[in-house]
Amino acid sequence: MSTALTYQEPYRLPAGMLALAVHLLFFFVLYFGFRWQAQPPEEFMVEMWDSLPAAEVAPEQLLEPPVKAESKPLPKVVAPVLPPVKADIEVRDKKKKQAEEKAKAAAATKAKQEKELRELEAYSERLRNSEQARIRAEVDAATATQVGRYQDMIRAKIRRNIVMPPDVPESAKAEFKVTLLPGGDVLDVELLRSSGHTAYDNAAERAIYKAQPLPVPTNADLQKMFRELKLTIRP
């Protein structure tokens, strides 16, 4: 009996130490477990970004050119035609009316100007005609005066060359058509109306030839009027 007790004594110390260690371990577990649960949660910090950071691009992606996507034409959008509002219609009608009034005024002004121009042209034409008529009348009068003067000179020269037959009354007169050359020479003499005395008619015709060259004007225009003369020869 004493032997058995002596044999078991050496194990009492380790068993006590082991029990002590287990109690200490249990104490630490309880202590630190309670402390961990009592700690407040950790604080979090949030940073605000204006824009997302650029994604990192792999070197292979930088070297390769980006593939362009085919651009498709956008569908043509046709704006709907809206009916004009009442104000627009009134403005358009007002502008149209103003344009018509301006066109009428312009047409009236043009017609008035054309009428005034026609009247001015007609007045100018009347003045020209009046002036030309006056000049022509003056020329005709001057020409008639010159023609009459030269005819008197021709008749006087012819009478000076008449050998008067007897018994010829002073009222006798013979009418001749005399054709002259430019210098006044007589080309032909034709009796148009007899005086009723053949002797006087023949004497007057002979005197016409004898009086050549007859006096004619030197002006070329007047000379044309003396190519053929109608002369009445009286005693």
pLDDT (tens digit, 9 = 90+) per residue, 147-177?
Answer: 888 888 988 999 899 888 888 888 888 999 9
146 contact partners, CB below 8 Å, separation of at least 6: 217, 219, 222
pLDDT at residue 107 tops 60 = yes
Lowest-confidence pick of 55-59, 141-145, 186-190:
55-59
Q: Please tell me which residue, 189 or 221, carries the higher pLDDT value.
A: 189
**Chain segment 51-99, per-residue pLDDT in tens:** 555 555 455 554 455 555 555 666 666 666 655 566 778 788 888 888 9
* pTM of structure: 0.42
Tell me the C-alpha distance between 233 and 173, whole Å. 6
| DSSP state string for 78-97 | PPP-PPPPHHHHHHHHHHHH
State the CB neighbour count (10 A cutoff) for residue 15. 9
Q: Give percent of the chain above pLDDT 90.
A: 13
Torsion angle defined by CA atoms of residues 124, 125, 128 and 132, in that order, rounded to the nearest 10 degrees? -170
Which structure tokens are listed for 44? Answer: 């979090």
